[in-house]
Homo-oligomer: A and B are copies of this chain.
Amino acid sequence: MSKVAVVGHCTTKFSLDDVSIESLLVLATKSIFEQTKNLTQRDIDAVLVSTNANKKYLSAIVSEMTGISPKISHNIESLCNSGTNSIVSAFSYISAGLADVALVVGAERFDSPGQVLDWDVSRGEYKHPIFWASMFTKARKREFGTTDEELAYVSAENHKNATRNPNAYNPKKYTVNEIMNSKKITDDLRLLDCSRPCSGSSAVVLASESVAKRFTDNPIWIRGLGQKTTSASFTKNDLIKLESTKIASQQAYQMAKISPNNVDVAEIHDAFTVCELMILEDLGIVQKGHAGKYVIELYNTDSKKINPRGGLIGAGHPLGATGISQVVEIATQLEGNAGSRQVEKAMIGLVQNMSAAATSSTVLILES
């Protein structure tokens, strides 16, 4: 199996702009050519597009608009983890020897159809993800005594981190008090407990070991990956753990031959505040039930270890771009190019990206 590295990456500024999906995809693609040493259109063997937009043939369109004639070209969709599904697919094309260089570009508009979970009658009228997040929160409060204050710290931490991220859609600090007094949306969650769907695009270029050094002096290797889809149905979920994340992370740790203790920096899928607490525990970074206190400590010590770019809550959540933007951040950290967001001596990074109440998860381990 050929080794695969991230050799180029970029993220556009996330916003609420009313811009076409094609323009978003092209913006990130043009930018990655500008930013990646020696990369030309002729190098690209595969173009994979990640989005939930109801448009067709987008990988061919973005290739056409940017002068690429790839061998492999298609769109990939798996709701909010479309981005990491695309990266794992590109990894497999390279690893199998079908491609040497793959461009993965993800984009979404603020009004994406991927925001609504409209197939599962077990959710009743509750098609918006906030309702499952609210049920997770209720269960967690019951089981572990999680407080509204602990949840608010998750939001405060991510918003604080986002102020160091020039591409965040609304980089602004909020106090715990402000968060706890923001507009109530459900029994358990308030406006500032939620990530915000937005417009944005991100891209990475992956390359095989044999060509990686042409494009960068500092390739970031994908050392481990895991994926799991447990269900498409909310009713099967255990409300106090994210089974798919647990299984995917075990696969990824095993492949990378590391343990959670080795992770220096992580981007995790904080679609809602409660998710961050659950993910930290199901990744094995924190003991089950203890993530609330851990996040307060992160905040108070100004740690950048978790979601240095501000996560989904701080940076925004353009669905098809999200998983890719997480990988962009981890690659930037492992290169040592994260500026004021830099986690010192970051050698091993983790990405956790999930869909639809964590019924599906991807975990990636990257190393410099």
A251 at the interface (CB under 8 A from B): yes
**Smallest CB gap from A55: residue in B:** B119
Question: Which B residues lie within 8 Å of A19 (CB)?
Answer: none
* Measured CA separation A328–B225 after assembly (Å): 31
A229 at the interface (CB under 8 A from B): yes
* Measured CA separation A30–B277 after assembly (Å): 38
The distance from the CB of A298 to the nearest CB of chain B, in whole angstroms, is 31
Contact (Cβ within 8 A) B57 A79:
yes
Question: Which B residues lie within 8 Å of A119 (CB)?
Answer: 22, 55-57, 61
**Smallest CB gap from A75: residue in B:** B77
A71 at the interface (CB under 8 A from B): yes
Binds B, one of A93-101, A151-159, A211-219, A267-275: A93-101
Within 8 Å by CB of A229, from B56, B70, B88, lies: B70
**Smallest CB gap from A81: residue in B:** B74
Question: Which B residues lie within 8 Å of A91 (CB)?
Answer: 96, 98
Given A71-B251, A74-B76, A76-B76, the answer on whether A60 and B229 have CB atoms closer than 8 Å is yes
Interface centre among A22, A59, A89, A98 (most CB of B within 10 A): A98
Question: Which B residues lie within 8 Å of A70 (CB)?
Answer: 228-229
Contact (Cβ within 8 A) A78 B92:
no
A340 at the interface (CB under 8 A from B): no
Copies assembled: 2
* Measured CA separation A61–B236 after assembly (Å): 13
A352 at the interface (CB under 8 A from B): no
Interface centre among A64, A225, A230 (most CB of B within 10 A): A64
Question: Which B residues lie within 8 Å of A296 (CB)?
Answer: none
The distance from the CB of A319 to the nearest CB of chain B, in whole angstroms, is 10
Question: 8 A-B contacts, Cβ less than 8 Å apart?
Answer: A54-B113, A56-B119, A57-B117, A59-B229, A60-B356, A69-B229, A73-B227, A88-B98
Considering the complex of A and B, which 4 residue pairs feature the smallest CB-CB distances, nearest first?
A95-B96, A60-B232, A74-B78, A64-B232
Q: A54-B54, A56-B79 are in contact. List 5 more A-B contacts (CB 8 A).
A: A57-B78, A57-B117, A60-B356, A69-B228, A73-B227
Partner-B contacts on A (CB < 8 A): 1, 22, 47, 52, 54-57, 59-61, 63-64, 69-79, 82, 85, 88-89, 91-93, 95-98, 113-114, 117-119, 225-233, 248, 251, 355-356, 359-360
